[in-house]
Structure 1
Amino acid sequence: MKFAYRFSNLLGAVYRQGNLNFSRDGNAVISPVGNRISIFDLKNNTSETLPISTTKNITCVGVSPNGSLAIVVDEDGAALLVSLITRAVLHHFHFHRPVHSISFSPDGRKFVVTKENVALMYHAPGKQREYNAFVLDKSYYGPYDETTCIDWTTDSKCFAVGSKDMSTWVFGAERWANLIYYSLGGHKDLIVGCFFEKDSLDLYTVSQDGALCIWESDTEPDGLVLTKKQKKPTEQREEDEEDEEEERMEGQEGEVIRGKVHSKKDQELTKNVRYKQASKHFFNKEGDFNNLTSAAFHKPTHILVTGFASGIFHLHELPEFNLIHSLSISDQRISSVAINSSGDWIGFGCSRRGQLLVWEWQSESYVFKQQGHFNNMASLAYSPDGQFIATGGDDGKVKVWNSNSSLCFVTFTEHSSSVSQVTFTSSGMVVVSASLDGTVRAFDLHRYRNFRTFTSPRPAQFSSLAVDGSGELVSAGAQDSFEIFLWSMQTGRLLEVLGGHEGPVSSLCFSPVQSVLASASWDKTVRLWDMLDSWQVKETLALTSDGLAVTYRPDGQELAVATLNGELSFWSPQSAAQTGTVSGRHDLELGRKETDKVTAKQTAKGKSFTSLCYSADGEAILAGGQSKFVCIYNVKEQMLMKKFEISCNLSFDAMEEFLDRRKMTEFGSLALVDDGAGDGEGVNISLPGVRKGDMSSRHFKPEIRVSSLRFSPTGRSWAATSTEGLLVYSLDGSMVFDPYDLDLDVTPESIRKQLRLKEWTSAIVLAFRLNERALKQEVIETVPHDQIGVVCGTLPDVYVEKLLGFIASCLEKSGHLQFYMSWAQNLLMLHGQKLKNRSSTILPTLQALQKAIQRHYDSLSKLCDFNKYNIRYALALSKQSGGKRAVDEEEEDEEDEDMSEERSEASVEEAEMIL
């Protein structure tokens, strides 16, 4: 239970690649993020990442019409059938080739997958339990090049497939006599989107060069005729035998339909469905490189949305091709466009920027706007109450995330280079960041501004940062001048430059209980600086290797240091003696890069932990480095307690221990061959035989690593910044049965019997011994409000901390604020001295309580201020209108006027009392 942390959420990345989807009600966006799926609730402004992952980055997602199922396909063609209701994986399947697009039919009975130049139609998984959820119905061969897009008719009778060979193919989902397939040309570039008109076979096709073709059909959907006709018994028997033979030959591949050219005579005899090009339109292009990259069409409102490589998008009304508006939302390529069911909101995904935008086109305003760090995250920090998380990245940005909603609410862009370290002050309203641009900046979370900028006399690259407990001293270590700089937060002046280290200063940490600064350096020492005694060196701890990270235990009685040889050493700050060592080199389990000439076992000898963090109670320490594993060690026993694999995404480098033999050739590894840019963009080949194009857009495979780790102040979760993003792991205590001091007499019936007898204290004690959350909440909410003080006074000491922690968890979700606040106030007032003596153990509980109260205070204070000013405004208007009425109507009775004023004043006083 203590280390049963599970993946909870993914922050810092909102979109990577693939297609966007809206939920059935149109209030949530389903976005692929690496090898995971995130759901952004636009109504409640929250984010959730599903606890599923694929083996490689996700390329396309298909959502069923009822919104209960999703099919997720990665780069290799491995597919997962996921339930969006239970968040569970229902089925695994492999298409054996990269899949370009996937789409469910509007009736939800079938779905089409396109890979290479084939369109495969499957029976959609039903509600009944099936052995094979993916049953192939038909295979459609028509295009000569790779397929790009799919669209269904409204009645699910036909579907269209666009291709890179500049053609669009219309196929029948059933064996129609007058429409088996139809090929449409008319374009000079690959097809980006094809869309059917509502309740019609009319078609719109959009190509990459910015051309729109409108195709009209001579047949309505009701005019499609099935091929089944009455035949003679002998003919029927012969056809059945032929069908059985074909099925035996094809096995599980289903029916195969191949597009071929018919003669005009055959077409006249069968009277097939015919298309003609009604019109052709061109989008306004700005330059040769402004390709049309994505498109979406909303059938009920006839709105066409097109995104371009320059970040511009157009809204047109079809079929008249009327431009509604054109806007630029980014300076990078728009990778995906989606429209919700009502047609009001448009979702845009930009893979290079990692942006996800939801635009309301009628009011021309943003509904949702999020962007992750452009490059890797370098550091993170929790606020003292655990409500906010600050992150710094290699893109020079500092972002602050709300841990409840998992969304970023402010971004600071003042730094001009990589942010190496971020931290909060003790107040929780100031974020301090150090950067390689030679500045340390302090940001105010009240006014969202940079109010302090600390610099050094000579330019220096700051690689480490620490702020003392009072928030007055700010220290930063330089990696080029080997010095430590101290500034005053109050005045912004440089107080002292601490010299003595003979190597780059890699990590700084202030003691929580004393005014002592610990600094780790590459010179194989950790120095303790006394901030009260002229900033002199108090102690020097000799290490066996270069120091990489240093951190204090929350009570300040122990110091942990990570060194280059892969060891964790523990020291006593008072006696400067080493108390223990953990050798963690073999626990990292590094993977082998594709370009490495050395095995992973040999590479691990030079790797080490680069980030350390104590748990809230100080009993465990969290360690991570250039590996996909995060380790939790027990400090007292000096042993590994648990390892977490933060990612299984093989799209990252150094994930597997052994190289894949299939990627090895006689000339070396295929990874050394660079084919140029991705994102479907062409490479300008300058000379014959030259494979590489523009070197600035070459293929890049990031390496998996953990750059920073932090425990939440509440102790219920921890976060890690990795190549994948900001990963949050938390304890899921709701499903864990953990009784306390249980015997046979403790049953739900006996607890409810004590409630009927009004023995409140006994009922609470029995409920906490059984330790079922629903039962504990029932008992506490049954206690009358006037009996809370009496119950808290008679409660045994051993249950006070347990009850206080439960009250803190209930406050986060319950609407009974005053009731639970009364419990918290009585417990703290009556047992405050006893809790103070155990401050180190109860600190996470108090911080969880503070976090819940602060969140309610922030939300309610805004609402109350809004209501208060509205009431004052209404009162002023009522008095003003009352005065005018007295002037205009002099004959009105004065008694009625006095009574109305008394009523209005009484109502205002009553409203102010409620507030």
Structure 2
Amino acid sequence: MKFAYRFSNLFGAVYRQGNLSFSKDGNAVISPVGNRISVFDLKNNTSETLPVSTTKNITCVGLSPDGNLAIVVDEDGAALLVSLITRAVLHHFHFHKPVNSIRFSPDGRKFVVTKENVALMYYAPGKQREFNAFVLDKSYYGPYDETTCIDWTDDSKCFAVGSKDMSTWVFGAERWVNLIYYSLGGHKDVIVGCFFEKDSLDLYTVSQDGTLCVWESDTELDELTLKRNKAKPPGEGEEDEVEEERTEGQEGEVIRGKAGTPKEKEKTKNVRFKQRSKHFFNKEGDFNNLTAAAFHKPTHILVTGFASGIFHLHELPEFNLIHSLSISDQRIASVALNCSGDWIAFGCSGMGQLLVWEWQSESYVFKQQGHFNNMASLAYSPDGQYIVTGGDDGKVKVWNTNSGLCFVTFTEHTSSITNVTFTSSGFVIVTASLDGTVRAFDLHRYRNFRTFTSPRPAQFSSLAVDVSGELVSAGAQDSFEIFLWSMQTGRLLEVLGGHEGPVSCLCFSPVQSILASASWDRTVRLWDMMDSWQVKETLHLTSDGLSVTYRPDGQELAVATLNGEISFWDPHTASQTASVAGRHDLQTGRKETDKITAKQSAKGKSFTSLCYSADGESILAGGQSKFVCIYNVKEQMLMKKFEISCNLSFDAMEEFLDRRKMTEFGSLALVDEGAGDGEGVNISLPGVRRGDMSSRHFKPEIRVSSLRFSPTGRSWAATTTEGLLVYSLDGSMVFDPYDLDLDVTPASIRKQLRLQEWTSAIILAFRLNEKALKQEVLETVPHEQIPVVCGSLPDIYVEKLLGFVSACLEKSGHLQFYMTWAQSLLMLHGQKLKNRSGAILPTLQALQKSIQRHFDNLSKLCDFNMYNIKYAVALSKQRGVKRAAEEEEREDDEDEEEEASEELSEASWEDAEMIL
């Protein structure tokens, strides 16, 4: 139970490559991120990464019309059939070649896959369980170059395929007499998109040079006639074989199209297309190629994205420009429209951006960008609500752990971020960078309010902030010095010298004002901040120090060294208490260009990041490998090993070389293809670990740069080459009873509930330790009985119940009920819990996180209601004033009428008197 961590989410990356898709209801975007799939819920503003992964980066995703199934294909053509309801892999398949596009038919019965110059039509998996979910129906040949895009007619009778040979082919999904295939030309560049008009065979084709062709068909969809198979005498039907070759076999039914028009049969008129019009997009030169296109059939809206980051909205077939905007300075790689046509999703692979634009209101619905380079460091906020990350792109991003989205980005640094941390208050982020500055950011006002610099320019490689948040320290990798600043004044307090090598890591004691610094000079020095910043102790290591961290209670120190060992020290006596040899646990892979085996390469690898668990009993370690290890400190043994990635698109993933990539001259990666051109061998420069950022060579090596346990102890996060991975405890899948015997059964627990023996029922439920049963028992207890039950609980169950209440409070809607439980437990057992503050701290932090989240949500709701009430009151007052003014005006009019009538009556009396 303690180490039942499972992958739960991927932060730090929102889009890499491939096609974007909207869910059936149009409220979620499905985006490929490396070899995983992320689902971004635009209504609830949350993200989720599916727990499925391919062996290489994903290139295309096909979604079924009902939104229940997805076919995910990677760079090699390996496909997964994934259920979007259960998040499970239903079937594995391999197309053996890279797939360019995939599309389900609107009726959901078939789907078309294009690879090389072939279009393959498969039967879609049905509701019955099948041995082979993908059954090939037909193979369509026609284009001379690679295919690029697919589109179906609304009734699933035909589909169109665009190609790099500048032609578009229309194929019949069934054996139509009057439509076997049709080839459309008219373009001078690669076809980017082809789209059928709604309920019609009319077609739009868009090419890379910014040309749109409108094709009109002389036949309606309901005029397509199905071919009947009749027995023919031998010797007949030879013309049919010339025109279209149909053979049953491994390829299914094969249809080979030709550039010419199909011959017409007797009494049958073939479908014909003619070009109605041709339009050109405004171009700004050759660099502004049209790169992506999408069409919404009900509203006739065409969206086109360009290499310069500009996109256009046109209404077809008149080609009226509705909207034009630049959303990025990078190439738009993918465009998608939701079912209503209001939201447009854009993916920019160069910057790792994902944008959703509402074109009618001209506003962003969703705007996220990951670190487009390696992430170097991460830190949890004290309540576990937020994670801050720093990357080689110089950006500092803050992520919400509940939604998985970034809500603020700081761009003040001008070079790579090396370390980030939170202060104890949780509202200040401190970052160190290679640009020679340490900056402090305020999470209330989202601004950089302090900038710390050194007298001489220095590149800061390590960072630490003390418990009070007053002292900020940073270590330099070139001058071997440690700088101390005051957060309050921003002034430099002291420069600590003594190390004879770069300072690799700094860490403040959580209980004392003591700073530990690890260096490449094979020492860890403990500096006393209260005693004139003097060296209190010096710990001599067996190799270069890479990482140092304190146990949460400050009574132990863990140090990772270059020889792959983790040593544990007592900071009071400066003596080593234990050590773990972790080099064999790293199990590094072999790089493509390595001339040594993975076993030899592992001898030079080591852990670069350490982190204690919340209870201090375990330590998490990661480094230059795809594995993260959890060790038990007391037993000095490996408890569990996590493989953070299986993506073979990264380097150093495989333990052995692939013999298929070996030639008589050696590995293909080392063979120079352009030997006669004078170009160098395409391998990385010496010492480069993260890949050359030019077109010369870029295949990043898998590595873990930073690790942190959540303050609640329920999850841990790692910054890797793949992104920010979050692993959480999954208690629902683990049966972990406590003090179990024959009497502890669900039946006996429910019997105690019927007898209203609340305390014994709770004790039995926690001994069985099943989440659903514990929740049932807890929610059966009457509200007024909660203080009585809490007072009669044994001490050992108080902590267990408090932990369960904090977990339930995070997701349950019974807010007051669980708050009453928490309040009663803390009020009645506060002193006992205080004596065990170290062990109970993660539970209290989890409780604080849950309460804070509810507080934020409720405060927003209350503010919204308050503003609505104020608006309603102001509106009613305005109407009241207006009504009062109208009544006053009406009264004035009545008075004037009465005066006029009186004057009139007086005048009439005077006239009558005169007459008399």
The alpha-carbon deviation at position 511 of structure 1 amounts to 0.2
Encode CA deviations 1:522-557: one digit per residue, 9 max, x unaligned: 000000000000000000000111100000000100
The reply on whether 1:348 has 2:363 as its aligned counterpart is no
More moved, 508-517 vs 875-884:
875-884
Q: Corresponding residue for 1:482?
A: 480
Superposition map of 1:142-221 within 5 A: 142-221=142-221
CA distance in structure 2 between the partners assigned to 1:869 and 1:359 by the alignment: 28
Q: Corresponding residue for 2:758?
A: 760
The reply on whether 1:326 has 2:351 as its aligned counterpart is no
1:63–1:103 CA contact under 8 A, matched in 2: yes
- Aligned residue among 427, 430, 455 for 1:429: 427
Superposition map of 1:582-731 within 5 A: 582-672=580-670, 696-731=694-729
The alpha-carbon deviation at position 814 of structure 1 amounts to 1.2
Q: Corresponding residue for 2:508?
A: 510
Encode CA deviations 1:171-205: one digit per residue, 9 max, x unaligned: 00001111000000000001000000010000000
Encode CA deviations 1:478-536: one digit per residue, 9 max, x unaligned: 00010000111111111111011010000000000110000000000000000000000
CA distance in structure 1 between the partners assigned to 2:702 and 2:129 by the alignment: 38
Name stretches of at least 5 consecutive residues in structure 2 with no aligned partner. Answer: 683-691, 892-916
The alpha-carbon deviation at position 744 of structure 1 amounts to 2.7
Describe the SS at the equivalent of 1:400. strand
Letter in 2 for 1:848: A
- Aligned residue among 837, 840, 854 for 2:838: 840
Letter in 2 for 1:48: E
Pick closer, same or farther for the CA change 1:101–1:582 going to 2, 3 Å.
same
CA distance in structure 1 between the partners assigned to 2:790 and 2:532 by the alignment: 49
Encode CA deviations 1:362-394: one digit per residue, 9 max, x unaligned: 111111111100100000000111110000000
Q: Corresponding residue for 1:105?
A: 105
The alpha-carbon deviation at position 665 of structure 1 amounts to 2.5
Pick closer, same or farther for the CA change 1:150–1:706 going to 2, 3 Å.
same
Pick closer, same or farther for the CA change 1:884–1:90 going to 2, 3 Å.
closer
Letter in 2 for 1:324: I
The alpha-carbon deviation at position 358 of structure 1 amounts to 0.6
The alpha-carbon deviation at position 843 of structure 1 amounts to 1.1
The alpha-carbon deviation at position 259 of structure 1 amounts to 0.7
Q: Corresponding residue for 2:81?
A: 81
Letter in 1 for 2:400: N
More moved, 86-95 vs 769-778:
769-778
Q: Corresponding residue for 2:575?
A: 577
Q: Corresponding residue for 1:382?
A: 380
Q: Corresponding residue for 1:745?
A: 743
The alpha-carbon deviation at position 689 of structure 1 amounts to 10
Q: Corresponding residue for 2:290?
A: 292
Pick closer, same or farther for the CA change 1:116–1:264 going to 2, 3 Å.
closer
Bigger Rg, which one: 2
CA distance in structure 2 between the partners assigned to 1:674 and 1:32 by the alignment: 33
Letter in 2 for 1:140: Y
2:502–2:520 CA contact under 8 A, matched in 1: yes
Describe the SS at the equivalent of 1:226. coil
1:309–1:333 CA contact under 8 A, matched in 2: yes
Q: Corresponding residue for 1:406?
A: 404
Q: Corresponding residue for 2:369?
A: 371
2:182–2:262 CA contact under 8 A, matched in 1: no
Name stretches of at least 5 consecutive residues in structure 1 with no aligned partner. Answer: 677-684, 894-915
1:675–1:698 CA contact under 8 A, matched in 2: no
Encode CA deviations 1:664-706: one digit per residue, 9 max, x unaligned: 2334432246889xxxxxxxx99899999x9943451111000
The alpha-carbon deviation at position 875 of structure 1 amounts to 3.9
The alpha-carbon deviation at position 742 of structure 1 amounts to 2.5
2:18–2:60 CA contact under 8 A, matched in 1: yes
Encode CA deviations 1:87-137: one digit per residue, 9 max, x unaligned: 111111111100000000000000000000000000000011111111100
Describe the SS at the equivalent of 1:475. strand
CA distance in structure 1 between the partners assigned to 2:714 and 2:249 by the alignment: 53
The alpha-carbon deviation at position 883 of structure 1 amounts to 5.9
Pick closer, same or farther for the CA change 1:651–1:263 going to 2, 3 Å.
closer
The reply on whether 1:132 has 2:132 as its aligned counterpart is yes
Encode CA deviations 1:638-679: one digit per residue, 9 max, x unaligned: 111111110010000010112212222334432246889xxx
CA distance in structure 2 between the partners assigned to 1:290 and 1:891 by the alignment: 66
Superposition map of 1:852-891 within 5 A: 852-878=850-876, 882=880, 889=887
CA distance in structure 2 between the partners assigned to 1:739 and 1:747 by the alignment: 11
Letter in 2 for 1:52: V
1:218–1:273 CA contact under 8 A, matched in 2: yes
Encode CA deviations 1:128-182: one digit per residue, 9 max, x unaligned: 1111111100000000000000000000000000000000000000011110000
CA distance in structure 2 between the partners assigned to 1:259 and 1:268 by the alignment: 20
The alpha-carbon deviation at position 596 of structure 1 amounts to 1.2
1:25–1:341 CA contact under 8 A, matched in 2: yes
More moved, 326-335 vs 738-747:
738-747
Letter in 1 for 2:834: K
Letter in 2 for 1:508: L
Encode CA deviations 1:598-628: one digit per residue, 9 max, x unaligned: 2111111111110000011111111111111
CA distance in structure 1 between the partners assigned to 2:537 and 2:266 by the alignment: 97
CA distance in structure 2 between the partners assigned to 1:881 and 1:493 by the alignment: 59
The alpha-carbon deviation at position 405 of structure 1 amounts to 0.5
Q: Corresponding residue for 2:908?
A: none
CA distance in structure 2 between the partners assigned to 1:670 and 1:310 by the alignment: 35
CA distance in structure 1 between the partners assigned to 2:760 and 2:799 by the alignment: 16
Q: Corresponding residue for 1:9?
A: 9
Describe the SS at the equivalent of 1:442. strand
The alpha-carbon deviation at position 237 of structure 1 amounts to 13
Pick closer, same or farther for the CA change 1:673–1:858 going to 2, 3 Å.
farther
- State the TM-score, normalized to the length of structure 2: 0.93
CA distance in structure 2 between the partners assigned to 1:425 and 1:250 by the alignment: 70
The alpha-carbon deviation at position 564 of structure 1 amounts to 0.6
Describe the SS at the equivalent of 2:527. strand
CA distance in structure 1 between the partners assigned to 2:709 and 2:695 by the alignment: 38
Q: Corresponding residue for 1:533?
A: 531
Q: Corresponding residue for 1:438?
A: 436
CA distance in structure 1 between the partners assigned to 2:491 and 2:841 by the alignment: 34
Q: Corresponding residue for 1:908?
A: none
- Count residues with an aligned counterpart: 878
Q: Corresponding residue for 2:901?
A: none
Q: Corresponding residue for 1:901?
A: none
Letter in 2 for 1:539: E
The alpha-carbon deviation at position 782 of structure 1 amounts to 2.0
Letter in 2 for 1:376: N
2:183–2:259 CA contact under 8 A, matched in 1: no
Q: Corresponding residue for 2:896?
A: none
Letter in 2 for 1:467: V
CA distance in structure 2 between the partners assigned to 1:521 and 1:718 by the alignment: 26
The alpha-carbon deviation at position 238 of structure 1 amounts to 11
2:20–2:335 CA contact under 8 A, matched in 1: yes
The alpha-carbon deviation at position 729 of structure 1 amounts to 0.8
Letter in 1 for 2:154: T
Letter in 1 for 2:723: G
RMSD: 2.4
2:158–2:171 CA contact under 8 A, matched in 1: yes
CA distance in structure 2 between the partners assigned to 1:805 and 1:689 by the alignment: 63
Encode CA deviations 1:278-323: one digit per residue, 9 max, x unaligned: 0000000011110000100011110000000000000000000000
CA distance in structure 1 between the partners assigned to 2:680 and 2:619 by the alignment: 52
More moved, 641-650 vs 814-823:
814-823
2:4–2:734 CA contact under 8 A, matched in 1: no
1:674–1:698 CA contact under 8 A, matched in 2: no
CA distance in structure 2 between the partners assigned to 1:675 and 1:52 by the alignment: 36
1:674–1:699 CA contact under 8 A, matched in 2: no
The alpha-carbon deviation at position 423 of structure 1 amounts to 0.4
The reply on whether 1:813 has 2:811 as its aligned counterpart is yes
CA distance in structure 2 between the partners assigned to 1:690 and 1:456 by the alignment: 41
1:45–1:405 CA contact under 8 A, matched in 2: yes
